[in-house]
Amino acid sequence: MTVDESKIRVNTFLQETLNTIATKNKEVGSAFSSILESEITIKQKSSSNDTPIEELASSSQDEAIEAFKEALRTKGALQFYQDYNFEKIEKMIEEKKAELMDKLGLGENTQPPLVGEERANALALLEDMLDAYRKQLQEKMQAEDELKQQTSTLTTFLKDLA
């Protein structure tokens, strides 16, 4: 077997794997969308007997549900999930930033306030710490996703055996 034949075989294998993954992602997205639609329908049917006060709350919930469904339709399940995780990470980063600013003496109520080089060093340290925290959160969420995927695959496999 020549090098070119090996490259073709590897390329073919990678393409087949990519196609399989893409198909599974579409199936998962489709399944997610159908489950979501059915749950929303059930919820809407069960709340059809609302009183007027409950109708006001229900209408704002309906708007939120419609916004959610529209975002899901336009972005797709995978992009929606990634954006959701990104928003969670950004919120956690903001909370951590506020906490670290107080600890590093960069808060508004710090007495005496940091100035000059001390402040610049503290800000640089803050950015480094936030970057490390962001990486840690991304790795954690990626590991959780992989664990969920492995668990799902194992569950499917065990159901097929049964």
- Alpha-carbon dihedral angle through residues 148, 152, 155, 161, given to the nearest 10 degrees: -140
d(CA 158, CA 96): 41
Distance of CA 18 to the CA centre of its chain: 22
pLDDT tens-digit map of 143-155:
888 888 888 888 8
Contacts of 129 (CB under 8 A, 6+ apart): 100
Distances (CA, A) of 56 to 63, 89, 112: 11, 32, 51
Query: What is the percentage of the chain residues whose pLDDT exceeds 90?
Result: 9
Q: Confirm if 83 and 75 have CB atoms less than 8 A apart.
A: yes
Side chain identity at 140, as an amino acid letter? K
Give the gyration radius of the chain's Cα atoms: 24
Cα dihedral across residues 123, 128, 129, 131: positive or negative: positive
CB neighbours of residue 106 within 10 Å: 19
The mean per-residue pLDDT over the stretch 7-15 comes to 72
pLDDT for res 47? 62
Q: Confirm if 56 and 63 have CB atoms less than 8 A apart.
A: no
Distances (CA, A) of 17 to 11, 135, 147, 150, 154: 10, 28, 20, 17, 19
pLDDT tens-digit map of 29-78:
666 777 777 778 777 776 655 555 555 566 778 888 888 888 888 888 88
pLDDT for res 53? 55
Residue 49 φ/ψ, nearest 5 degrees: -100, 30
Side chain identity at 118, as an amino acid letter? E
pLDDT tens-digit map of 76-110:
888 888 888 888 889 999 999 888 888 887 777 76
